[in-house]
Amino acid sequence: QVQLAESGGGSVQAGGSLRLSCEADGYTMSHNCMAWFRQAPGKAREGVASIFTYGGITNYVDNVKGRFTISTDNAKKTVYLEMNNLKPEDTAMYYCAARRDSAAWQCAPGGDFNYWGQGTQVTVSS
């Protein structure tokens, strides 16, 4: 059984940084797709970044490009989201997601994912 557990959220001021982690217990890290999503109160969930775990191919949505970096440590079965220059509009619950089977070309911060974590809150104050 796959379980995803996020950590690292918190409250920061605008311009600050946070690093989120997601441990993927029971998940096959190689040749698969993992992503970070977020959902702000009253808004739809949106994909933020994705990574294909073989080769580290990454994709980002436009409003986080240059500020966020997704990466993995396959040996630790962990995916990270490094967030720099945070803005108040980044405030949201952040979720880790993983897909059961995926090709590299299918890996993007959107679409269907099979496994989800419980989320970690990120709050950015102005």
pLDDT band for position 114 (50/70/90)?
Answer: very high
| Alpha carbons 54 and 10: distance in angstroms, whole number | 30
Q: What is the pLDDT of residue 28?
A: 86
CA–CA distance from 71 to each of 77, 86, 126 (Å)?
A: 11, 18, 27
| Alpha carbons 33 and 5: distance in angstroms, whole number | 16
Q: What is the pLDDT of residue 101?
A: 81
pLDDT band for position 29 (50/70/90)?
Answer: confident
Q: Please state which of the ranges 17-21, 37-41, 103-107 shows the lowest mean pLDDT.
A: 103-107
70-104: per-residue pLDDT in tens? 999 999 999 999 999 999 999 999 999 999 888 88
Mean pLDDT to the nearest integer, 48-75: 95
| Alpha carbons 23 and 32: distance in angstroms, whole number | 15
Strands of the 78-83 sheet, one edge to the other: 3-7, 18-25, 78-83, 68-73
pLDDT band for position 8 (50/70/90)?
Answer: very high
Q: What is the pLDDT of residue 61?
A: 97
